[in-house]
Structure 1
Amino acid sequence: MSMVSEFKAFIARGNVLDLAVAVIIAAAFGKIVTALVDGIIMPIVGMVMGGVDFSQLFFALDGNDYANLAAAQEAAAPVITYGAFIQTIIDFLLIAFVIFMIIKAYNRMIKKEAAAPAAPAEEILLLREIRDSLKRPGL
């Protein structure tokens, strides 16, 4: 089998296509969650914490005080932007929670679809026939 035909067979398998679709949807979903966190959740959290903008939280390693993150970056000061880290953790937790809720809903939907009862084994059917034939009068 040539390399091209093996590659075609590999790509044509359902798992690869499903994985590709999942990756694309996950990337789009990540953008949605990031927009939700940046535009809605973090401003509310910042307001509750006294007007703090998490994206602007930083620590300058050179020991100087800067008015904001932009001023520190303009001065080429080495900074640790721990606010961005906090925001990324919140992104992760939200994505994990939404995935949990989707899987929980999916599992609930699957359980509602009751599986058809399995047909009795052939031995059971034969035993029932023997039982029924023994019950008939005149044998």
Structure 2
Amino acid sequence: MFKEFKEFISKGNVIDLAVGVIIGGAFTSIVTSLTTNLINPLIGIFIGKIDLSNLSLSIGKATFKYGAFLNSVINFLIIAFVVFLLVKTINKFIRKSKDEEVAETLDQTEVLLTEIRDMMKSNQSK
């Protein structure tokens, strides 16, 4: 069982996933800082309150902290946009790679078909 676990953990996919999670956590803290320290004050200039995270609405004994929710929505939108750009870029490179493979395959097919045609011609002339 230890051997199987060692094989599993040493596969590239698991290591790539671990690196992605670590970088994702670091990126999330950067985006949170960006939202809290730069975007919120900018929005606060227009609405008159600098700290959006403290915005709340009280109805009876219930308190709705919509400012913290706004921070989370802004964080999500920034992260989602960056992931979108990343996936779009990766797909662009993958498409180019596949197109090159298809072109190479077509070239090989053309060569083989030409050889077959030439062999058929030589057989007909005999």
Distance, in Å, in 2 between the alignment partners of 1:129 and 1:96 is: 56
4+ residue runs over 6 A deviation: none
Answering whether residue 77 of structure 2 is matched by residue 93 of structure 1, we say yes
Letter in 1 for 2:79: I
After TM superposition, give the deviation of residue 43 of structure 1 in Å. 1.0
- Give the number of the structure whose residues are more often helix, by fraction: 2
Give the match for residue 80 of structure 1: 64
Q: Percent identity?
A: 39
Answering whether residue 116 of structure 2 is matched by residue 127 of structure 1, we say yes
Task: Give the TM-score, by structure 2 length.
Answer: 0.78
Any idea what the Cα deviations from partners look like across 1:98-125, whole Å, max 9, x if unmatched? Answer: 1111222233344445514202179625
Give the match for residue 100 of structure 2: 115
Report if the CA contact (8 A) 2:40-2:50 is conserved.
Answer: no
Task: Give the TM-score, by structure 1 length.
Answer: 0.71
Distance, in Å, in 1 between the alignment partners of 2:5 and 2:109 is: 44
Query: Which runs of 5 or more residues in structure 2 are unaligned?
Result: none
**CA RMSD of superposed structures (Å):** 2.7
Match of residue 35, structure 1, among 14, 33, 36 = 33
Give the match for residue 25 of structure 1: 23
Distance, in Å, in 2 between the alignment partners of 1:46 and 1:131 is: 80
Q: How many residues are aligned here?
A: 121
